[in-house]
Structure 1
Amino acid sequence: MWNRPRFDLKVRLTLRVAAVSAACFAAISAYFLITADRAVHARIDGIAAIVAKTLELQQGKVQWVNSPRSDFPNLDPVSAFVMTPGLCLAFRGANGEMLQRFCSGAPTPANAPPQAFAAFYRGLFDPGREAARPVIARGARLGDAVVWFDPAVQTAEAWHEAGRLMTVLAITLPLLCALVYAALARALRPTQVVRAGLERIAANDLNARLPPFDLAELSAIRDVFNHLAASLATALSERSELTRRLIALQDEERRHLARELHDEFGQSLAAIRALAASASQTAAQDCPALLGECDSIARTATGMMETLRGALFRLRPPDVDELGLVASLQGLVSGWNGRSHGQTRFDIRFEGAFESLPASISANLYRIVQEALTNAAKHAGATKVGLHLAMGANEIALAIDDDGRPNDAAVKSGMGLLGMRERVAAMRGRFSFTAGPDGGSSLRVVIPVSPADGQLEALEDAA
């Protein structure tokens, strides 16, 4: 299965908020730069209008006084009032020649703007663009009043404003991200409760329920989760009860079939063997040639009785209630060791006391072990099978390991793994089966038990 990379939701949302905030700061910075550029041009347009009006007044005064000495144009009076660092004033004649020019010196900036910013600003705003107003006297155009800012000064001032915004961004953005992350962590804290509930459901703890939440969305999830858990618990309980009844019915059918085979087929075979023995005695006196056929019939009947005895043992094992689980399993393992003729070695090991184990659990464990040993010996071709049964305070653990080859027939034959799984589910236990790639398999069964189980079993038997 392809696993896609997973990211923390809080980190992802915080990064998105940071990206949006940075974009907003960038938009605000652009807005301030555009506004500042417009303000500069509005200012130099106003100064150009003032210079043009002043020059027109000077020209009118010269003509009114009729002074032979003309000090037109004279930018000194207006420059004393409007000059600022980096500002330039000039009068350009009608022929395009600069007749007078004043420029205010600009101090060296403490932090010169980077070349990249200067190039970007020059390309976007064209700093140093001049503003010109015509100077008109008596209907004649004498020239133009020209005003502009030094591009370096204007770029430095823009960088100063942008730097202030960048400082605010550098301080505000990390703080904003931290606050957003903390708020998201607090808002998403209930998702950990939801995850814990799902993990409990995955671990077959169907009593898991989610607590109430403040958020409407999480409350809807809680209602669906709790309803699903309750429905699943009811369904599994009904399924376990149905499985238990089906298994009990199956065992009852096996016992009935075993009785029928023992009473009918077994007695018939015994009668055939007795008749063969009687016929053998008669043939020994009257017809010795029939002795071989009589002995053959007797041997065939004996072999059929042995096969029937094995089938009866599998259909109706020794009464676990009378012999106990330990003795029954020891007899089962001894029987397999005897029938395998050394081809398969079966070992069994017990840990704990099993005397107080309920009869229903003992019977189901015996059936599980019986089916597992049959699969390992007949279908997996194992040469060594190990069985370990341990009794704990609140559970009983069964482990069966073999060195057989992987074979699907072991799963499909007889009751198979499905039947064992159903028996374990009926006892509300846990079942796992793993087969190695190079052979061998491991079966694990864990059944919960408590002293109350034995008392309940005794009350049911008494009823």
Structure 2
Amino acid sequence: MWNRPRFDLKVRLTLRVAAVSAACFAAISAYFLITADRAAHARIDEIAAIVAKTLELQQGKVLWTASPRADFPNLDPVSAYVMTPGLCLTFRGTNGEMIQRFCSGAPVTADSPPQIFTAFYHGLFDPGREAARPVILRGIKLGEAVVSVDPAVQTAEAWHEAGRLMLALAIALPLLCVLVYAALARALRPTRLISTGLARIAAGDLTARLPPFDLAELTAVRDVFNHLAESLDTALAERAELTRKLIALQDEERRHLARELHDEFGQSLAAIRALAASARQTAAQECPSLLGECDGIARTASGMMETLRGALFRLRPPDVEELGLVASLEGLVAGWNGRSRGETRFTIRFDGTFETLPATISANLYRIVQEALTNAAKHAGATKVNLELAMHADEIALAIDDDGRSTDPAAKSGMGLLGMRERVAALRGRLSFEAGPQGGSALRVVIPLASSGPQALEHAA
């Protein structure tokens, strides 16, 4: 399944702010270029009007003085104070003929505008447009005063101004991104606390609580989070209590069944063995041919009694409260080593002191180990089973490793594993059952010894 790439929220928002800022800079630059183009056209229109007025005055002076010297048109006087680099002043006659033209040279610049900017500017604007004003004297049109600017000069000026904006953008945009990212990191710092709280909830720590936040939106999330954690804690506590009662009822039923089997079935088997022995004595005297049948009945009764002893041991284990957890588990392992006759080797190791362990935890740990050994020996077909029980400051850890078949469905989803999960859940612990690193299966059980009260996530992320 294709997964979309995930971006950090701060990075995503910073990129969006940068994109919006760049768009704003582009809009400002476009507005500036449009304004500058309009100002340039207004300026050449104004110069054209000045040139036309000056030429009208020159022609009027010629007529007023009746001077035979023809100094019209003369663009030198007006060029002295209106000329700028790239500007051209032209007087065009009524027939369209260029009578006089005066242009200033374009300045030599070290950096010419890029071709892409030149093409863009020429496509968007008309830098070579002329401004013409008629020269009229006494109602007679003498010609036109034409003013124009070299397109290369106007494009270079626009690029110079745009370059200043681009330089400002290059400096301001990274600085803005840094400031926005820092502000977002500070504003979104509580999301780390929320993420940490959710991780603790997912790990089964329902004591996680979120502290108050400054933002109203995060405060609403905090209230819902804490309410959900409290509801889950209450629901799991009720479920654990119900599970404990069910397990206690199940254990009581097992003890009752064990008593019934011992009192009724055990006595019946003992009676059958006694009758078989008596019948053998009678057959030995009167009918020797029946000795084999009598011995067969006795062997069957003995096998059934051996099976009954194993069932009674599983139904009614030794009193863990009286013997202690360590002695009970050592006896359980020794019993499995004896019954397996060397086919499976069971070992156990203890780390810590278990005398002060509560009776409920001891009894459930014994049942968990009992079910785990049954799964490893009967379902997984293991030849080596290693148990390790360790006591820590605030929890007790059980590790069971075997070299059996880790993919056996009966070992993973059988009633034994379900019973172990129920007992671990009743003790508010954690259970994992996975394939071992060297093959086989690895069972891990962690049971807290004391539940701490609700704790808020006060540390800063």
Same fold, judged at TM 0.5 (above): yes
Corresponding position of 1:238: 238
Aligned 1:83-98 pairs, distance under 5 A? 83-98=83-98
**Matched residue SS, 1:44:** helix
Q: Whole-Å Cα distance in 2 between the matches of residues 58 and 391 of structure 1? A: 114
Give distance in 2, aligned partners of 1:40 and 1:411: 84
Write out aligned runs for 1:18-167 (5 A): 18-109=18-109, 111-167=111-167
Partner AA of 1:430 in structure 2: R
Structure 1 distance, partners of 2:184, 2:346, is 60
Once residues 392 and 57 of structure 1 are traced to their aligned partners in structure 2, the CA distance between those partners, rounded to angstroms, is 109
Q: What is the distance in 1 between the residues matched to 2:239 and 2:336?
A: 34
Counterpart in the other structure of 2:375: 375
Aligned residue for 1:319?
319
Question: Corresponding residue for 1:443?
Answer: 443
Point out the more displaced range, 310-319 or 150-159: 150-159
Q: Which runs of 5+ in 2 are unaligned?
A: 453-461
The verdict on how the C-alpha distance between 1:417 and 1:57 changes in structure 2, with shifts beyond 3 A counting, is same
Residue 300 (structure 1) aligns with: 300
Give me the whole-angstrom Cα distance separating, in 2, the residues matched to 1:130 and 1:216: 62
Identity across matched positions, percent: 83
**Which structure 2 residues correspond to residues 325-364 of structure 1 after superposition, within 5 A?**
325-364=325-364
Residue 20 of structure 1: SS of its match in structure 2?
A: helix
- Counterpart in 1 of 2:409? 408
C-alpha separation between the residues in 2 aligned to 1:318 and 1:241?
Answer: 25
Distance 1:404 1:110 in 2: 82
The residue number in structure 2 matching 1:264 is 264
Q: Tell me whether 35-44 or 143-152 shows the greater mean CA deviation.
A: 143-152
**1:408 alignment partner AA:** P
Instruction: Deviation per CA, 1:234-290: give whole Å up to 9, x if none.
Output: 011001111111111100000000000111111111111111212222222233332
Taking the aligned partners of 2:181 and 2:404, their CA distance within structure 1 comes to 55
Of residues 107-116 and 257-266 in structure 1, the stretch that sits farther from structure 2 once superposed is 107-116
2:227 maps to: 227
**Which shows bigger deviation, 392-401 or 116-125?**
116-125
Amino acid at match of 1:20: V
Amino acid at match of 1:157: E
The amino acid of 1:86's aligned partner reads G
Deviates more, 1:150-159 or 1:424-433: 150-159
SS of 1:206's partner is coil
Q: CA deviation at 1:139?
A: 4.1
Alpha-carbon shift at residue 114 of structure 1 (Å): 3.4
> What is the Cα deviation at residue 52 of structure 1?
2.1
Determine the C-alpha separation between the residues in 2 that align with 1:85 and 1:112.
Answer: 15
1:6 aligns with: 6
Cα distance in 2 for residues equivalent to 1:394 and 1:29: 66
AA of the residue aligned to 2:143? G
Partner in structure 1 of residue 273 of structure 2: 273
| Greater Cα shift, 245-254 or 283-292 | 283-292
367-376 vs 168-177, which moves further: 168-177
Aligned equivalents of 1:2, 1:125: Cα separation in 2: 47
CA distance in 1 between counterparts of 2:285 and 2:84 reads: 152
Partner amino acid, structure 1, of 2:388: H
AA at the equivalent of 2:386 = G
The Cα offsets for residues 138-195 of structure 1, whole Å up to 9 and x where unpaired, read as 5443322111112232222212211222232223222222221221111111112212
Greater shift after overlay, 227-236 or 66-75? 66-75
Partner residue, 1:290: 290
The CA distance in 1 between the partners of 2:345 and 2:219, in whole Å, is: 59
- The amino acid across from 2:449 in the alignment is V
* Shift, 1:2, TM fit: 5.8
Q: Alignment partner of 1:95: what SS?
A: coil
Q: Alignment partner of 2:113: what SS?
A: coil
Give, as a single letter, the amino acid of the residue that structure 2 aligns with 1:177: C
Q: Deviations over 1:48-87 (max 9, x none)?
A: 1222233234334444544443322222333233223322
Report what 1:208 is aligned to.
208
Match of 1:455 in 2: none
Query: CA separation in 2, counterparts of 1:448 and 1:10?
Result: 38
Tell me the distance in 2 between the aligned counterparts of 1:85 and 1:393.
Answer: 88
Instruction: Please report the RMSD computed on the Cα atoms of aligned residues, expressed in angstroms.
Output: 2.2
CA distance in 2, matches of 1:304, 1:198: 55
In structure 2, give the amino acid aligned to 1:156.
Answer: A
Name the amino acid aligned to 2:401.
Answer: D
Moved more, 262-271 or 339-348: 339-348
Report SS of the residue matched to 2:208.
Answer: coil
Distance 1:150 1:206 in 2: 78
Describe the shift of the 1:258–1:435 C-alpha distance in structure 2 as closer, same or farther (beyond 3 A): same
What SS does the corresponding residue of 1:393 show, helix, strand or coil? coil
Question: In the aligned structure 2, how far is the partner of 1:425 from the partner of 1:263?
Answer: 34
1:425 aligns with 2:420: no
Q: Structure 2 length normalisation: TM-score?
A: 0.92
- Amino acid of the structure 1 residue aligned with 2:70: S
Gaps of 5+ in 1: 453-463
Work out the CA distance in 2 between the residues paired with 1:260 and 1:165: 96
Residue 205 of structure 1: SS of its match in structure 2?
A: coil
Aligned length: 451
Aligned in 2, Cα 1:57/1:368: closer, same or farther, shift over 3 Å?
Answer: same
2: CA distance, partners of 1:94 / 1:265: 137
Partner of 1:252: 252
Amino acid at match of 2:393: A
Residues 88-145 of structure 1, C-alpha deviations (whole Å, 9 max, x = no match): 1111112222111112334323544334333332333232221112223454433221
Q: 2:94 touches 2:142 (CA, 8 Å); kept in 1?
A: yes
Query: What does residue 387 of structure 1 align with?
Result: 387
Aligned-partner residue type, residue 268 of structure 1 = S
CA distance in 2, matches of 1:148, 1:451: 89
Amino acid at match of 1:362: S
Quote the Cα distance in structure 2 between the aligned partners of 1:88 and 1:285: 151
